[in-house]
Amino acid sequence: MAFRDEWLRARAVAWKDLMAERRSKAGFNSVAALGVTILVLFGFALGPDAEAIRAAAPGALWLAALFAGVLAFNRSYQVELDGGALEPLLMYPGARRSIFAGKLLANFVFVFLLLVIVIAVSLVLFHITVPSTWPRLLLVVLLGEVGLVTLGTFYAAMASRSRAREVLLPLLLFPMLVPVLLAAMQATKALLVGDVMHDAGAWTSLLVAYDVIFLISTFLAFDYVIEA
Amino acid sequence: MTAAAAFTLEVPKSGRWPIFGWFAVLFLAGAQITAFAISPPDRDMGDLQKILYVHVPAAWNMGICYLLVAIYSFRYLWKRDDRDDLIAASAAEVGTLLNGLTLVLGMIWARPTWGVWWVWDARLTSTLIMFLVFAGYLALRAFVEEPDRRALWSAVAGIMGAINYPIVYMSVRWWRTIHQVQSTPSTLDPTYTFSLRLNAVAVLFILIYFIRRRYEAALTERVTEQLSQAAALGGPLHA
Amino acid sequence: MPEMIASNGYYVAAAYAVGWICILGYLLRLHSLLRRSREALAHARTIGGAP
């Protein structure tokens, strides 16, 4: 079945990326260290006042994940470009979108592990108490991550193959990520303070809609991006 | 798509466009003078209302520019005609210019009206995000040299940017539940509406002139690139 | 309030000044771009032969 073939291809690409990442080791450790550093810097920026720090924690958490994640997105093509391995990869039979799906999957796992560390550190640094609604919080984190990783992986396919990729990726990606970050931050904030206004649900639906729209459009557009 | 299609491009001619340029500039000046002459000062806003005769037309025409970017980007993906790519790029540049103008004029209007230069309301914020999205689009074009790759990627980035606009608008609106109710023309003085539309048409002429001439320059550059490429590859060119 | 309207005049003047600087500035840039692109084309023709 065609779908099963595509899934197997995507899984192979993801497995290859993750193994390469695991063997290099330096990649994930330094990105995670950067994420923690950003959290500490936010702590200094927001002052010693415990209440102010707690109130700003959702924003700091997502921004730390974003800034550290950007490095991961560029890396995911960089290793192949440096080794001249992207062209051979594109020459394999089958739809190109399975390559995108594979990279997406690998980045999802990578950023998920990053988020685990970032969230664990922010729980300590920002005096967050885990609410009883933590499964919903986990859902929000995963949905927000899907949006982040989808657009990140997509724009990195362009930016990493241009001049000045370090500047171009954030410049293209951050404005596009405004809605997903806004929704993820607001939903996280609502769930952490107990959702008295009952707006976590609305933000979560917005996240779902956003994820669906951008998953479909990036899958449709990836063929054009990788072709050139 | 490179060499074969390349030589079908012709050097664009200026034709009567310089005359149209003078007409557009003079028409804009005339429209502004007319607006000043016929519309009385607003009851609430006083003379500040006159800022809107530039601000609102700039905002509308910015929308037209971005719509053109989306249309010609789709057309490029469909037909793969280099000229569509250059039109989209020209429209994006003019759109970004009008976008910046809209933002600055909005701030100049907001300061005496609301007491602050900036309000995080849905329309303002999404206009600012659009400016950043298209600044990214122009940077993408600047950082990618290979013409076919640049055309494909910027077409995709332009379409994605256009899709992003309603989503940003909705999410910022939910974030800031207080937003200004959009004033409809029926509640306004008829001379105000007329002046606004007259100025919108004037800015539209300016826009047409700008996009046409920017396209002309871009196409000339492209033809030059192909000529020198062909000359470098195999002596004098006969096409 | 006349004093308020008088001070508002500066904002209106500033707005129109910004508008015209923006439009005329882009116009000048556009024309120099057009001139340079035509010169480059003429130069390329002298090297590569007239099309």
Q: Please give the average per-residue pLDDT across B48-76, as a whole number.
A: 91
Average pLDDT, chain A: 87
A59 HSE (CA, 13 A, CB side): 12
Percentage of residues in chain A with pLDDT exceeding 90?
40
Q: Contact, B178 vs B120, CB < 8 A?
A: no
Nearest CA in chain B to A224: B152
Neighbours of chain A (3+ CB pairs under 8 A): B
Residue A22 to residues A32, A86, A135, B180, Cα–Cα distance (Å): 13, 19, 29, 52
More confident call, B100 vs B35: B100
Question: Are B171 and A179 within 8 A, CB to CB?
Answer: yes
The mean predicted confidence, pLDDT, of chain B is: 85
Q: Does residue C3 carry a pLDDT above 50?
A: no
What pairs with residue B46 in β-bridges? B42
User: Above 60 in pLDDT, residue B5?
Assistant: no
Query: Do B140 and A162 lie within an 8 Å CB cutoff?
Result: yes
Under an 8 A CB cutoff, do C11 and B51 touch? Answer: yes
Does C49 sit within 8 Å of B108, measured CB to CB? Answer: no
| Pick among A151, A154, A162, A203 to test the B interface (most B CBs inside 10 A) | A162
- Range ranked top by mean pLDDT from A17-21, B73-77, B226-230: B73-77
> Looking at residues C7-30, what average pLDDT do you find?
90
Q: What is the pLDDT of residues B122-133, one digit of tens each?
A: 888 889 999 999
Q: Would residue B237 be called left, alpha or beta, if left means φ above 0 and alpha means ψ between -120 and 50 degrees?
A: beta
**How does pLDDT run across A183-226, given as a tens digit for each residue?**
999 889 888 877 666 677 888 888 999 999 999 999 999 988 88
Q: Which of A179, A202, A203 sits opposite B167 (nearest CB)?
A: A179
Q: Which residues of B203-227 are buried (b: 16+ CB within 10 A; e: fewer)?
A: bbbbbbbbbbbbbbbbbbbbbbebb
Q: Please count the other Cβ atoms lying within 10 Å of the Cβ belonging to residue A178.
A: 20
Say which residue, B175 or A103, is predicted with more confidence.
A103
CB-based contact B88:B82 (threshold 8 Å): no
> Which of A101-115, B139-153, B173-187 is predicted least confidently?
B173-187
CA distances from residue C40 to A204, B218, B221, C31 in whole angstroms, order as listed: 55, 12, 8, 14
Q: What is the pLDDT of residues B160-172, one digit of tens each?
A: 998 888 888 888 8
The DSSP output letter for A136 is H
- Local structure of B9: helix, strand or coil: coil
The pLDDT of A36-60, averaged and rounded, is 87
Q: Identify the band that residue B178 occupies on the pLDDT scale cut at 50, 70 and 90.
A: very low
B2, pLDDT greater than 60: no
For residue B100, give the H/E element and its range: helix B82-114
Q: Per-residue pLDDT averaged across C41-51, rounded?
A: 72
Which residue in chain B has the smallest CA separation from A170?
B136
Compute the nearest-CA separation of A150 from chain B (Å).
13
Chains near C, with 3+ CB pairs < 8 A?
B
Query: pLDDT band for position B239 (50/70/90)?
Result: very low
Residue B85 predicted with pLDDT over 70:
yes
Percent of chain C with pLDDT over 90: 49
Predicted local confidence at residue B155, as pLDDT: 95
pLDDT at B4: 44
Residue A156's pLDDT band, with cuts at 50, 70 and 90, is very high
pLDDT of C2: 45
Q: Sorting pLDDT into bands at 50, 70 and 90, what band is B121? A: confident
Assess whether chains A and B touch, using the rule of 3 or more C-beta pairs within 8 angstroms.
Answer: yes
Of A172, A186, A224, the CB nearest to B136: A172
Collect all residues of chain B within an 8 Å Cβ-Cβ radius of residue A171. 132, 135-136, 139
Q: Which chains touch B (3 or more CB pairs under 8 A)?
A: A, C
Which residue from C15, C19, C26 is facing B210, i.e. has the nearest CB? C26
Band of residue B107 on the pLDDT scale cut at 50, 70, 90: very high
Report whether pLDDT(A126) > 50. Answer: yes
pLDDT at A50: 80
Interface residue ranges in chain B relative to chain C, Cβ cutoff 8 Å: 11, 21, 25, 28, 32, 41, 46-48, 50-51, 54-55, 58, 94, 97, 100-101, 104-105, 108-109, 111-112, 206, 210, 213-214, 216-218, 220-221, 223-224, 227-228, 230-231, 235-239
- How high is the pLDDT of residue B217? 93
- The listed range with the strongest mean pLDDT (A38-52, B3-17, B197-211) is B197-211
